[in-house]
Amino acid sequence: MKVPISTLLAAKQSKIFAIEASATVLDAVKMMNNHTIGSLIILDKGKLIGIFTERDVLRRVVVPGIDANTTLVSQVMSPEVDTFSPDTSVTDALAHMNKFRHRHVPVMNGDEILGLISIGDITRWLSRHAQNEAQTLLNYFTGTYV
């Protein structure tokens, strides 16, 4: 399936959640909790420099016992961020996320952040797509196809 990830991103119609690198871990976690999201894009003067995820909270803050009130999110974020271009196919994105065990990947057009795609976004979209195809086939075989 060569549907571009931009199609999924447009259907998702979600806000981009980001925080400046100078924010504390506590600020980042509160933002994630308030918006019921699993990750934040980390910015430095508007430029993507990392991603901060629930996994980072557990592995880099909770387990080592780091103080979330005084630690900057830039100190515990994941600085190596894979990104997708808008024309990356949904299946290529899914394969990449599975291979590298990423749950959240930003979609970028050059330096512009278009959005963030999660593995859940992709599986929900694929599930809806499969249901629609199944219904179309059922309608075709039962003679109700229009």
The domains located in the chain, with CATH, are: 5-142 (3.10.580.10)
pLDDT level of residue 129 (50, 70, 90 thresholds): confident
Residue type, 39: S
What pTM, to 2 d.p., does this model score?
A: 0.85
Say yes or no to pLDDT of 1 above 60. no
